[in-house]
Each structure stands twice: as structure tokens, then as C-alpha cells.
Structure 1
Amino acid sequence: MLSRRRFIAASTSMAALAALGLSPESLARQGLRLGKTRPFSFDALVAQARTLAAAPYAPPPKLPREVLERIDYEAHGKIHFKTDEALFADGPGPFPVTFFHLGRYFQTPVHMHVLDAAGSKTREIVYDPAYFDMPADSPARALPKGAGFAGFRFQESRLNDGRLGDQEKLPWRKNDWVAFLGASYFRAIGELFQYGLSARGIALDVAQADRPEEFPSFTQFHFLPPQDGSDTVTVYALLEGPSVAGAYRFVMQREKAVLMDIECALFLRRDVARLGIAPATSMYWFSETAKATAIDWRPEVHDSDGLAIWNGHGERIWRPLNNPPRTMASAFADQNPHGFGLLQRDRNFDHYQDGVNYDRRPSLWVEPLGDWGEGSVQLIEIPTDDEIHDNIVAMWVPKAPAKAGSEYRLKYRLHWRADEPYPTPLARCVATRLGNGGEPGKPRPQGVRKFMVEFLGGPLEKLPFGVKPEAVLSASRGSFSYVFCEAVPDGVPGHWRAQFDLTTSGDEPVDMRLYLRSGEQTLSETWLYQYHPFAPSKSHG
């Protein structure tokens, strides 16, 4: 029999859980421990971020570094969250939440909270090593009580309702569809069931020569209990860093693709030279465009192969990615863009020959909601000699200087898909190939590079027999020769390529622009490319 004190304590705990709109029996089975009930609203979270930004930055309390350092890659790989302990494992909603453990590479503690059904009260999920399967001698056992988590992920539907096809291939305990882990990074699997590139809450001073890049962190998350049968989940987050504080609302939808509606409020406590909104981070090592001889056995290695932009003037742009000889920053000025994204257009497994599924990596499209004003889509490309490094960043950078005291309220939608959500009706660029310039059978001249740029679909499919597209070319420097268009001899309707030689001197990059037209009719999207002449072999072109 329970003592009176234990009975009152148990009754109080059950009442609190009921107030949260959760089943006491469910959480009792899961073993999750919750902290005190506190009021919550998104407006209050925004106010908290504003207050934090008005004061000097106070980093989160540090956990024992010597313990975290011992939780290295191998030790971290042996720590697994017990799915029986997952938040919402028995509902409400179809998507349980599991948590990542802290370690050497994820040292900032993140505090997880669960809201009531109305979203007006919140309680912290208190960290306990008992939530995790780990070896008896795991260094993680030396962390203090309430240390916090490293991140979280939403598992696939526990209802096995067939919404995504054959659910037997997607048991929820072994499959997840979105993950937040490390600083402000997060990612989703898209419609091809494969993780790839990442998004971030914010990017600060990427590739600035006079200052290091800053990586603010999400330090709090609050989970709103979802509705049973719903394919939507809502999460609130607090962002903190030396230069910024912010509040975020993520409304994430698991359909064939993954959609995220994001609302954020950002407050700067000090000047930022390059403020990156809605940043995407990816990896590009080499592709069919150019590859150093025998650098790797695979034909291509990349998570994304190009930056697509649908600018505010309606122009569709495709910019193939580079692995440059030095860090490069490219800016595409615009006002209220329709969208932009890092895409993986090449879906042919034979072009990769790798079991890590590069052909299935998701494309990420950013769709601004509301007025974003003047600014630029900026592309950062950083040299790499391996696939383990994320070396590509694409983001929106406002035109106005990002000064201390500035505030930003923005909304946007992220589409994690196989392709961009609003495809152009024009022909799309499907390949960019480089080779030595000049005429076959004759000595190849120095400083001449041949380009073959392929386009497919759109109005090219309806060109009358005998009509050839015209290649409209321009460059920041150098001269063109041997310019012509021809149908690719593969029998595919609407598959054409533009061929030309570029002659340059010196080693400064050349920015080129190309599109196809017939008379006054534009036939293709605009191909932009940054060519690095005489680059060392590791730059791959």
C-alpha cells in the first residue's frame, strides 16, 4: 500500500501529466521523468530571445570536458536510445521522438521539453542514462544528472498505416525521417528515404577572411503533442550564440516528401559581416564536369550537384557546383526571390557506383514566405579532398548591414524532395562537361577549354525539324570560339547540347552565362558557371 506522502506525490504527477494531455500510463511505461510545469507560448519564447540578445552572451554551463572527450566516435556508436522510452511511443500522434546522447562531437547540452495539448504549459524531459542502452563501462555513465541531450529525431509512423507505401520496410524503431543534431543543424530524408545535405537555423560569417565562422546552437526544444493520424508535428526552439539569440517554430509534415514551415525571430547582439538566412550545407567533391585522374574509383561523389535559383524577376538559373582551388563566395543579387536550393539532379546510380546512395540524396528547396526584401543568394564553395567534409553553403543574405540591435522576423518553407517543387517549363541543364579545346587531330592550344553543356525537355522537345537552338553566351573575361548547338545523338527528344571553346589567360576565375533561344523565344534556364583556369589538379576543373 502507498504511504500518504507517496500517494499524494503520485497523484500530483499523474494530474500534471493529464494536464499536459499525455497518458500517465504511457509515460510510466516509457520511464520518462519530467520537471516542473512552466507557462509557455511562442511569443514568450521570442521575448526570451530578445532579452538574451540585450545582455552579454552567457554560454551554457559546461559539462566535464574530460568525460565528453572520452565519448569518441566508437564509444558514441555503442550508445542507443531505448525506443520503448521514446516520447509519444504510444501516442498521441504517429511519430515517436527519440534522443541523441552527448559526446565528443556534440558537447553542447540541449534541453528537451514536452508541451500540453494547448501549447500553453511545458515540462522538461529530465536526462537519465537509463533511457539509453550503453555498455557498463561507457564513459557516458560519468556525466552528471540532468546533463541534457545532444539532439532528437522523429521516427517513422508507429501506426503502420501504409501512408508511405510498404510500411513493413519502415519499422519505426529503426527508421527516422528528420533529425536535429549539433549546433543549429537539422536534416530530413526527403521522398527517397535517404539523408544527405543539412539545413541550419542560421549561418554567421561563413568564409569571412577577418573573422571565424560562428556556430550558434539550439539549446531548447519544446514538442507539441500531435494529433492522432496527423502527418504534421510542431516543435519550438531557442537559439543562442555570442552574436545572436532567436526563437523558431518548426511545423514539419511527413508526406511523400518532407515539408517544413519555419518561422523565426532573430536578435543580433553584435555586428555580423555575413548573415545567412535559411542556409543549406552540402558536400561536393567531384562530378562528371571535371575530375582529377584516378583520384577515386567512383565516377562522381557529391550530395548536391548544383544551385538552382528562381529569382524575383522570374529567371530560372542553374549553377553547377565547384570544388575550387581556394574558398570562393558568389553572390546573386535579387529582391524577393521565389526560391533557391541545393539540388541533386543526377539520379543515375551508374554515375556513382557507390552503396551509400548518392543517387538518392535529397534536394533542398527554400521557399520564402512573405517579403524578404533586397539581398542576394550567396554560394560558398570551399576546397576539399575528401567526401567527409561539408564544403558547400547556400543561403540568403539581406542587403542591409546586419548591425548589433537588428531584429529579423522571417517565414519560409523547406522542401526536402527528389527535385525542386516548382519545376521550370523551360529546358533544364542536365550535364556540364569540360575538356581540352581546339580541333581534333591538331595540337591542342594552351589556355583553351572546351565546354559541352546539355539541356533537356521543355520547348526543346517541340522544335520543328531542322531548327537548331542558338547558344547565347557571355563571360566576365576571355573569348569564345567554335560555338554551336547540336542534338545529343541518343534518340531522346529535346536533348540538346551547346558546345564552345573558351580562351583565357591568367588564373583568375571566369564567370560565364549561357541559355538557349530560338528567335525571341527563350528555350532553357540560364546556366551560370565559374571556371577556374589552370587550377591545380585537386580542384577538379
Structure 2
Amino acid sequence: MTEALPSRPTRRGAAALIGAGLAAAAIGRPRAQTPAPGTPAALIQGTLGEGQRFSPAAVVDIARAMARRPFTPPPNDLPEAFAGLNYEQYIAIKAQPSARIWEGEGRGFVVEPLPRGFVFTAGVTLFTVEDGMVRRILFDRSRFDFGTLNLPANTPDLGFSGFRLTSTALGGAPFDFAIVQGATFFRALARGQNFGAVARALTLKPAEARGEEFPSFRAFWLERPVAGTNAIVTHGLIDSESVTGAVRMTFRPGEATIVDVETTLFPRVNLEHVGLGGMGATFLFGPNVRRTTDDVRPAVYDASGLQMLNGRGEWLWRPLNNPDTLQVSAFVDENPKGFGLVQRERDAVFFQDDVQQPERRPTVWIEPIGEWAQGAVQLIEIPSDSEVNDNILAYWRPRAVMQGGSEVAFAYRQFWCWTPPERPQLASVSLTRSGRGAGGRRRRFLVEFVGESLAAPVPDLRPAVSTASGAIQNVRFWTYPDRKVVRVVFDLDPGGENACEMRLVLQAGPRPLSETWLYRWTP
């Protein structure tokens, strides 16, 4: 089996985002506990529990019914021995060989339920769907190897915190391609990659003074895959103080792993700040920001920039930053065609990191299905001095308020890949550098573009650079047709401003030759 763990636990602020436990559980036969009447667990058991006939519409019905009831927090019953585990102790827990669901059936997929422990304290009820019928996955302690942990003989039912998906039908060794664990977080990757960025099934009120709300998965129904289809379908139930929801995710692993996400939300209250297609990553430092530079490596990040294809067909590139203060940027749009956190550096020389290998991190790209109306791609950059923090968050924020008592459906296709599936027929930004300018508060920027259109001299070529505040000075550029490169250098004089929004595009007359480079300077 290939190693599916990120080599570091990941947190954002005080909240654990998502990690991958090298642990699993099995389909055991202990008796399931009877849930208290009126709780989400009782509603789940009575509608789609053990022995019931499965229907995707029934998952939506459960979410709808839960939204009509007051929110009930999940039980906080994880034994102290497991809540107090550190990261190393948690990943040392291993599953017995017989623990994996559908192992040896030739269906192309295997599932490992992951136990609770460490920061994964909330339980997720797991079911399989086989021949149309629901079966409960129960915790069985005898299927675990707890390593050096000294556990009492009466260790209770731990339950599960999520699951890992492995492909066994793509040739070669089994391919661990996805982990769903913690709140509504999940990770995936393409063959040959390692875990980096993290996706969210739902994002609520991030970076707000009143505090972010973290919805969580309450239950999952995993459909037994059909051999030869290279697809596995999961159905999740979302719950939080403000909203409930049902999400269907279809995973197709490969050279690019594709996840089709279909979600129906039932707000309990009016929702003004909702994030769809959310994703997070780490950006510590790189050529454009080096305020934390006491490191042998020249760069440390999971993604180099936010790429967008807006509703007008314009390709935008925003290099990521690790600012001194919290920065929130909104790229207003209507019916976006795509956006994502992109890792463009694929040469190990760029990072010089033989352990983390950031050059193998996945790009995550979202393509909306249907019209998403008016809103904005929102980017949040959080100051960080540690690479274990996912300090970058991007998502689509609808302009319209989701009304309490309403029903809202949306869908998108998500690519975990080396490069986005659709790429501009334009020169792209290959490098952004920033350093001290000519004097005072001036900053110098160097931006390189690369592309086939730059392989020969271009008549009337000019860099169109502007800023919404401050002043652009001393613009120069050099062409290198042999390398298909144009390098632009300019100075920003912010004057008395503390934030300057800059924009740069290569043009030949009125025609754009490159994607549009966007950048926010802050002191």
C-alpha cells in the first residue's frame, strides 16, 4: 500500500482542519448503541439505518427534517486516553489486514474507516450500501493494533472520524487517493502526488470577528462500487448550528482525480456568508515574500497562486502571500467558469525539500456546474510563522443571502491534478519576486511570463501595469524569445497608502498576450 499520510498534522488557528490517520477500523459485529429519541442519530437510524433500503433522496429528506429541529451538538464522549493522543501516537494505530471493506472483491476500491482520536473527536456514523440495502459499519477493537499504547481492557466503542479511499484497479500498487476526516474536510490527490491542499464541503463565516462556524459530517453512506467503473459514490449528511445539508460525492481516481460534488443545503437561519467549493493550503514564504526566511529552503508552500477564469472569459492569476496582517480579497464575478489553488512549481530544485516535496502537491480546480449567479471568489490570507498552518483559504461566496427555511442546491466538478484541465491560450506567470525599491517605502517587483506566443518577437508589445492607489514607476521589460519569456520590472511607490492593488497584463496593441497578474501589496 502506498503511504497516504501528509508528513505533518494540519491546523488553521485553533481549529484542526484535517489530517490523515494511519489507522482503520473494520466491519465488526458488536451491538450498536440505541440513540436517544429526537436526536440526529435517531433520525438517521430510523430512516436509513441497518437493514433499511437506501435512497439518495432519503439522505436529503433527513437533512430537511433535521433543519426543522434545534441543533443538537454531537456527543463529546471520546475517552480521555484517545482525546489526549498526540499526532505520533495517533498515526501509530494501525488496522489489522482484515479491516478493509471490500478487500479482495475485485471492485477496484477499498475503504478504511478511521477511528476517533487526537484532534478527531467528533464521531461520524458510517454505513455501506450493498444490493440496495444499508449496513452499519461498527467499531471492533480487536481489529486494531494500538502499538505501544497501554489501554484498559474495558476500552469503549471509539466509533469513527472518517474514512480513507484506496484504488486497487489502476495498475501497480494500491493507490490511496482520498481521505474524508474532520468537520467537512477532505483531501484527494492524483497518482504520484502527496497530500497538500484540503477541500471543504461547506464553509461558514470564515475570518469574521464573531468567529467561524465549522459544520461537520454526521453520517456517510458508501455505495459498494461496481467493478470496472472506476467510480465510488458516497453520500454525506452535514449538520451545524446554522444549516443542514446532504452532499453526494463521486470519486474517480487517476492521473487526475475527479470529484463530482452535488449539495443540497437547508439553512436554519439566514446565511449571509457561505463558502462553496472551499479549499485551503499552506503558504509560508517564496520569492515574493520572505519575512520568515531563516530556513535552508528557498520556498515553502502547497500552492503558488489562486487562478480564476471569470464569467467574462478573463484568466486571472493572483500569487499567494503570507502577510503581516489578515487580508481578505474578493474578486467580484457572475457565473464563474473556474477557480482554484494552483501549484505551478514542479521542479524539486525550486523547493530543495526532500521530505515534504512540495513540488508534488496537488492543484485543486473547481468548475461550477450550472449558473452560480452573482458573487465573488474570496481569498483569505492569514499571517503564519509555521508550515503546519493552512493559512490560505479560497471559495466562492454567493452575493444573495440564503434564507432560513429555504432549500439551495449547487454542484461542481473538482479536479485534483498537476495542471488545471483548461488552460489559457495565453502566456502565464511563471515567477513573481518582490524586494526593496529605489528608496523610502518603494517596492520593486519582477514578474516573468512564459508562453508559446512569446517564442518570436512581438510587434507593439507592452506591459500594461496599473495600481488602484499609490504610483507605478520605472517600468521596464526584456524579451527572451529563445526561452519564450518576457520579464517585467517596475517600482511601486505606495505613498501614504497601506494597501495597493496592482494589475499587469502583456499586450500587443489592444490584444492581451498573457493572463492578468493581480497583486495586493501591504507593508
Relative to the length of structure 2, the TM-score reads: 0.88
Q: Does 1:400 align with 2:400?
A: yes
Structure with the greater alpha carbon radius of gyration = 1
2:380 aligns with 380
Matches for 1:184-203 after TM superposition, within 5 Å:
184-203=184-203
Post-superposition CA distance 1:11-67 (Å, at most 9, x none): xxxxxxxxxxxxxxxxxxx76438731132111111110111121101122214524
Partner of 1:126, secondary structure, is: coil
Partner of 2:454, secondary structure, is: helix
Q: How many Å separate the matches in 1 of 2:413 and 2:475?
A: 40
Partner of 1:68, secondary structure, is: helix
Partner of 2:52, secondary structure, is: strand
Change (3 A) 1:458 1:310: farther
Q: How many Å separate the matches in 2 of 1:284 and 1:31?
A: 39
Matches for 1:88-127 after TM superposition, within 5 Å:
88-117=102-131, 120-127=132-139
Letter in 1 for 2:451: G
2:446 aligns with 452
1:497 aligns with 487
User: Contact 2:375–2:397 (CA<8 Å) still a contact in 1?
Assistant: yes
Q: Does 1:523 align with 2:523?
A: no
User: Contact 1:109–1:219 (CA<8 Å) still a contact in 2?
Assistant: yes
Change (3 A) 1:90 1:261: same
Change (3 A) 1:504 1:150: same
User: Contact 1:93–1:226 (CA<8 Å) still a contact in 2?
Assistant: yes
- Percent of counterpart pairs with the same letter? 35
Q: How many Å separate the matches in 1 of 2:424 and 2:153?
A: 54
Q: How many Å separate the matches in 2 of 1:241 and 1:139?
A: 33
Letter in 2 for 1:388: V
Change (3 A) 1:215 1:31: closer
1:513 aligns with 503
Q: Does 1:486 align with 2:486?
A: no
Post-superposition CA distance 1:107-137 (Å, at most 9, x none): 00111101023xx421111111122211374
Change (3 A) 1:75 1:65: same
Matches for 1:64-463 after TM superposition, within 5 Å:
64-117=78-131, 120-135=132-147, 137-139=149-151, 143-145=155-157, 147-157=158-168, 159=169, 162=171, 167=172, 170=173, 172=174, 175-209=175-209, 211-292=210-291, 294-355=293-354, 356-438=356-438, 445-463=439-457
Q: How many Å separate the matches in 2 of 1:137 and 1:251?
A: 36
1:16 aligns with none
User: Contact 1:67–1:143 (CA<8 Å) still a contact in 2?
Assistant: no
Q: How many Å separate the matches in 2 of 1:293 and 1:96?
A: 42
User: Contact 2:442–2:493 (CA<8 Å) still a contact in 1?
Assistant: yes
- Higher-helix-fraction structure: 1
Post-superposition CA distance 1:90-113 (Å, at most 9, x none): 225111111212113000011110
Change (3 A) 1:108 1:142: farther
User: Contact 2:460–2:509 (CA<8 Å) still a contact in 1?
Assistant: no
Instruction: Report how many residues are paired.
Output: 479
Instruction: Report the alpha carbon displacement of residue 365 of structure 1 after superposing the two structures with TM.
Output: 0.1
Cα RMSD after superposing both structures = 1.9
Change (3 A) 1:39 1:453: same
User: Contact 2:470–2:497 (CA<8 Å) still a contact in 1?
Assistant: no
Post-superposition CA distance 1:123-156 (Å, at most 9, x none): 11111112221137444865423x4201111123
User: Contact 2:123–2:218 (CA<8 Å) still a contact in 1?
Assistant: yes
Q: How many Å separate the matches in 1 of 2:457 and 2:97?
A: 57
Name structure 1 gaps, 5 residues minimum. 1-29, 439-444, 536-541
Instruction: Report the alpha carbon displacement of residue 518 of structure 1 after superposing the two structures with TM.
Output: 0.7
Q: How many Å separate the matches in 1 of 2:456 and 2:144?
A: 60
Change (3 A) 1:81 1:95: same
Q: How many Å separate the matches in 1 of 2:304 and 2:81?
A: 39
User: Contact 1:470–1:484 (CA<8 Å) still a contact in 2?
Assistant: no
Instruction: Report the alpha carbon displacement of residue 412 of structure 1 after superposing the two structures with TM.
Output: 0.4
